[in-house]
Chain A
Amino acid sequence: MKRVALIALAAFAGFALAQTRGGAITVAIQTEPAAWDPTQVAGADISRVVYDNVLQGLVKRNVRGEIVPSLAERWTVSGSSLTYTFVLRRGVKFHDGTDFNAEDVVAKFNRARNPDTRASGHLRPDLYRDIASVTARDANTVVFSLRQPNQDFLFTLSRPESLIGPSGRPLPEQRVSPVGTGPFRFAGWDRGVAVRLERNPSYYVSGFPYLDRVNFRFLGDGDAQLASLRAGDLDVIAYSLLPENAVVLGRDNNFRVFSGSGTAEAVAGFNNSRAPFNNQKVRQALTLATNKDELIQGAMLGYGTKIGSMRSPGEACYVDLSNFNAYNPDQARALLAEAGFTNQNPLRFTFTVAAEFPYERRIGEALVAQFNKLGPLQVTIQVVDFNTWIQRVFTAADYAMTIIGHVEANDTSNYNNPNYYWRYNSPRFQQLYTAYLRAPTAQRACDNLGAAQRLLAEDAAGIWTMSLPALGAYRARVQNWPNSNLSPGIAVSEIWVR
């Protein structure tokens, strides 16, 4: 045993020697968020920058999507699954020099579960509804009592909304300049250009991070990103690299392309509450008319993973339904005929796409082309700006069919909400989902979640075209960049440059 440990230590030391400390990198992200505190403002690009770089929670999701300790060193769960006791790391300081302790955790989660969001300024109190109380047993121990078992509790604690800042810090300040405990401190926000992070010299994990500075630059256009990368002004395109640009960069020794699994499902969603898509046969027919392999090859040049329900292969409790209701145009036509739609009397509807998302837009356009090739379908595509999309499709559900990427992990639960924009109202699904959430063991929970995924596929509640790739590229001098990323953040603490 001792020998194994020694070998491991030697191997680690050898590895550690290879790393260089210092330097800076610039990483492209697509949009400039309105603020930087994910407890107050939602947005995937906020989490990409601050999650586990600036702000940390009790636990975190690593690049493999596993929930691992962060500010909590360890935790225990009572036999009833109703009490979670977290032992906090000692000697942790916020970037403003104040000590992190149990009081910060208690204040944070009391704020999070306050249903009066106007007073708390905290998003999604619904996520924390099951918390009956949160108390500090001592300066380093926090106890959560739940009202009922919740299989997603640790997942909830790993969400960006659960990141922890100093308890007394005014919310407006935290929005524009977040203070946390992470390996980097927030050094500045050049509006319209970039955010700057700087190494936290008193980070509690000794030796980390390697880099002195990390800039996240807002560059929305894929071709402008490519030009900047090739000119050397950009080191990493962290996500949403255009497939054709990935092919070009893949041939060049100066760059490395990575294409791993992510948690984003490109969902071609139906409005399940309205004719014709309140008819399961019609939804199934459209699923059968979808050639997913062709979409992945044609629209994404092979980048992307075929799925058959609302979950990505890298996630826990995933059930492979990728060949369920597989492409079968004859059966699709037969089902449409049963519903009264033929070549002479085709089904006409509008397919709404948000202009801002390059992957979804091209997948949507290709999907509509497949539909129109079938015969009994006449689909018009309508491109709108994202804000209009949110208002019309997402909020008012005034649409027939649409496509968007759902980047959140573990978002099968979206079908549990009958008021969500898909307007999918299935008592059976809701029953299965509750059974999952309240299950006494992880295995039972997974069984129920598996059944829920299968039900969605049988109901053809949507067309899950593919799990979008985590596709990006970086300059060869950047080391240790993960190939795939199932974490909400672009964690840069273990990255170094040659």
Chain B
Amino acid sequence: MFAYTVRRLGFSLLTLWLATLLVFGALLLIPGNPAQAILGIDATPADLEALEARLGLDKPPIERYFAWLGGVLQGDLGQSIRYETSITGLIQDRLSLTLPIVVASLLLATLISVPLGILAARRAGSWVDLGVSVGALVGIVLPSFWVGLMFIYIFIVWLKLPLPTNFPIGGWENPSQALASLVLPVLTVGLASASLLVRLVRGSVLEVLNQDYVRTARAKGLAERVVVYKHALRNAALPVVTVLGLEFAQLLIATVVVETVFGIPGLGSLSLLAISARDYPLVQGVVLTVAAFIVALNLIVDLLYAALDPRVSYT
């Protein structure tokens, strides 16, 4: 198990490094440069040259990349070109919003999708099942951008709930407002994720319920509750856990849509800004962070597998 974990970690580091290399190369290929992005269309060539020198962009890309990598190895993600501030600090600030949104959304999604999915599976083909499936489909089809705007109109403009539409100016200085500003984003993201998960839970439970060992359990005369919750659910949980892990990693960036609607400075909008501003070190920093999360989550999912399914071995 230990050797396995070490080997996995080694591969993870290699993956991270390859990811930064790929992203750096891709950024060099697309048109545009950070100095021009900062100065806009009224700048003269001399203005651009001066800014490029100030930002160190007059050095060759390879040199810039290795200077950045050298910093990373010492735990320093460098300075953002756009914001002229520490990238580590920027990413920490953004994660302090994105992580709570993602964790709370997935929690909400699990709380909704697992009971509903089981219910739909146990009553497959009934009206309940149809209702759950249609609801899930609607949740998947509706763009979260639109859903977010509708939530603002329904909950804030019409129902007059005391929720802010945007992350408060001054941020966490005002904790209750800051937390309140995350309620609708979590609802928006959570419902979208629940729509995806509920179909998965239903399918997975349904498949397990049709397997021989469940029939045996029933034949033994066990109560249906015990069959479902003790025997079936554990196996049905495997694919759901995998997808939850993937969904978590994906949401770190995908929340950009709701961040735009709710004016939340999260990791998604930071990555969007970094790309559109051609802020190379910042893009690298964000990619590295997200990749680290993905790698860590994969590891956790694998370990959970072992706990859920004794047949998985790590030799």
Q: Which residues of A contact B (CB under 8 A)?
A: 26, 32, 34-35, 41-44, 115, 117-118, 121, 123-126, 172, 175-176, 188, 190-194, 196, 215, 217-221, 223-224, 227-228, 230-231, 233-234, 385-388, 390-392, 394-395, 404, 408
CB pair A215–B44 under 8 Å, yes or no, is: no
Which of A35, A191, A227 sits near B149, CB closer than 8 Å?
A227
User: Is the pair A190, B43 in contact by a Cβ cutoff of 8 Å?
Assistant: no
Q: Which of B46, B53, B170, B277 makes the CB contact (< 8 A) with A387?
A: B277
Q: Mark B75-89, 1 if CB is under 8 A from A, else 0.
A: 000000011110000
Cross-chain contact of A231 among B30, B82, B152, B278 (Cβ < 8 A): B152
Q: Are A42 and B43 in contact, with the CB atoms below 8 A?
A: yes
Given A191-B83, A194-B169, A224-B149, answer yes or no on A124-B36 (Cβ-Cβ < 8 Å).
no
B153–A391 CB distance below 8 A: no
**B31, B36, B152, B277: which contacts A227 (Cβ < 8 A)?**
B152
Which residues in A have their C-beta under 8 angstroms from that of B277? Answer: 34, 387
Minimum CB distance partner of B263 in chain A: A219
Task: For the complex, count residues of B whose C-beta is within 8 A of A.
Answer: 49
Q: Given A42-B39, A44-B40, A224-B260, list of 16 further CB < 8 A pairs?
A: A118-B50, A191-B85, A191-B90, A192-B93, A192-B269, A193-B166, A227-B152, A227-B157, A233-B164, A387-B31, A390-B32, A391-B31, A392-B31, A394-B41, A395-B36, A404-B41
- Within 8 Å of chain A (Cβ to Cβ): is B33? yes
Task: Provide a sorted-by-A list of 16 A–B residue pairs whose CB atoms are within 8 angstroms.
Answer: A32-B273, A34-B82, A34-B277, A42-B40, A123-B39, A176-B84, A191-B93, A193-B265, A227-B149, A233-B165, A234-B165, A387-B277, A390-B37, A391-B32, A395-B36, A404-B41
Residue B270 is within 8 A (CB to CB) of chain A in the complex: yes
Contact of B50 among A117, A219, A227, A387 (CB under 8 A): A117
User: Which of B33, B44, B49 is the one whose CB lies under 8 Å from A391?
Assistant: B33
Chain B neighbourhood of A230, CB < 8 A: 153, 157
- Assess whether A117 is in contact with B46, with CB atoms less than 8 Å apart: yes
Chain A residues, CB < 8 A from B32: 385, 387-388, 390-391
A314 vs B40: C-alpha distance when bound (angstroms):
25
> Which one of B31, B43, B46, B54 has the highest number of Cβ atoms from chain A below 10 Å of its Cβ?
B31
CA distance A194 to B83 in the complex (A): 14
Q: How far is the CB of B155 from chain A (nearest CB, A)?
A: 9
- Measured CA separation A394–B37 after assembly (Å): 12
Q: Given A191-B83, A231-B165, A387-B276 in contact, is the A34-B263 Cβ separation under 8 Å?
A: no
Q: Which residues of B contact A125 (CB under 8 A)?
A: 46
Contact of A215 among B36, B82, B169 (CB under 8 A): B169
CB proximity of B166 to chain A, nearest CB, Å: 6
Q: Does B243 contact A (CB under 8 A)?
A: no
Confirm or deny: B224 has a beta carbon within 8 angstroms of a beta carbon on chain A: no
CA distance A246 to B46 in the complex (A): 41
Asked whether B38 is an interface residue with its Cβ less than 8 Å from the other chain, the reply is yes
Closest CB in chain B relative to A406 CB, distance in Å? 9
Does B47 belong to the interface (CB within 8 Å)? Answer: yes
Cβ contact within 8 Å between B30 and A388: yes
B47 in complex: contacting residue of A123, A175, A196, CB < 8 Å: A123
Complex: chain B residue closest to A406, CB-CB: B41
